[in-house]
Amino acid sequence: MLLLNKGKAISTFLKDKLPFSISIFLCAFLLVFSPVNAMRERKSLKNNSLILSTVTVGTGGNYTTLKAAFDALNSGVVTGVVTIQIISNTSENAMAALNASGTGLANYSSLLIYATGSGYSISGNIANPLVSLNGADNVTIDGRVNATGTAADLVFINTNTSATAAALRLINSAENNTVRYATLKASGLNASTGIIYFVSSASGNGNDNNIIEYCNLTNAGVNRPLNAILSYGTAGRENSSNIIRSNAIYNFFNDSNSSNGINISGNSTDWKINNNSFYDTASLVCKFWQK
């Protein structure tokens, strides 16, 4: 056994006690496995992009908006099993669209989004969906603080009233996604949109096997959407096997236009809809029904 004398420098020890060839080997070993180099390995770069699995969104975070975080996934800057933590309110200036993994440089296997504190919102005034899953799979939006408990806390709100405004859109075969315990607000004044809507697919199977559960779906501001949830798919790529359960769907009734809590329209099959509540929080005069 080799003992190092107290206070004696390791370089002197190597020089005095060991053959030159062994000293060189040990020095190289210490350099390679030093804590500094281990830290550098953990912060390694690949193709000049920092590989992260957890990113923060909000004031003081890695990204200030959800759109910026989605752009990072789309460009391959953030890859793998990804978690996005919402650490404050965000103000979105454009649609946050997440593309399918394998499209362009996007390379992720799953994505979890949740807030780290109570009362946070993702908001914008956008003439498009606030959030769009464009062929994206295995995304979970969990509105509970730290993804635990039973309170629907995180809010997604789009205050725009154009024909294409919505809180969430699933398009181009977005599959195996879950939205739970979130509040989604939008007031798109068109029969072809909804607070959440599933639309057509140019390729793939359709928007299938998605779950909306334990959410609050309601209007944004004084205007009311014509659909809370809407689906219309593509022939041969139907929107199929989606589940809508245990949601509170309210303030969607429009007394001058046909309106729907859940509107499962063309090319949509095998949906499971159960345990949802439909109601209004205000007293209404139902002019649409009056003779």
> pLDDT tens digits, residue range 43-63?
333 444 545 589 999 999 999
Is the predicted pLDDT of residue 40 greater than 60, yes or no? Answer: no
Q: CB within 8 A of 34, min separation 6: which ones?
A: none
Q: 106-118: per-residue pLDDT in tens?
A: 999 999 999 999 9
Q: 169-204: per-residue pLDDT in tens?
A: 999 999 999 999 999 999 988 999 999 999 999 999
From CA 166, how far away is CA 188, in angstroms rounded?
6
Is the predicted pLDDT of residue 91 greater than 80, yes or no? Answer: yes
The larger pLDDT score, comparing residue 254 to residue 13, is at 254
What CATH fold (topology level) applies to the domain 44-280? Pectate Lyase C-like (2.160.20)
Amino acid at site 22: I
From CA 159, how far away is CA 157, in angstroms rounded?
6
Confidence label for 71 from pLDDT (cuts 50, 70 and 90): very high
Place of tokens 């830290």: 39
User: Per-residue pLDDT averaged across 18-40, rounded?
Assistant: 40
| The model's pTM | 0.81
Confidence label for 289 from pLDDT (cuts 50, 70 and 90): low
What was the pLDDT predicted at 37?
37
What was the pLDDT predicted at 222?
87
Distance from the Cα of residue 286 to its chain's centroid = 37
What was the pLDDT predicted at 290?
52
What was the pLDDT predicted at 255?
77
Residue 267 sits at φ, ψ, to 5 deg, of: 55, 45
> Domain extents for the chain?
13-42, 44-280
What was the pLDDT predicted at 288?
52
Average pLDDT, the chain: 85
User: Per-residue pLDDT averaged across 153-162, rounded?
Assistant: 96
Is the predicted pLDDT of residue 67 greater than 80, yes or no? Answer: yes
What was the pLDDT predicted at 282?
86
- Let me know: does 162 contact 133? Beta carbons within 8 Å: no
- Let me know: does 17 contact 2? Beta carbons within 8 Å: yes
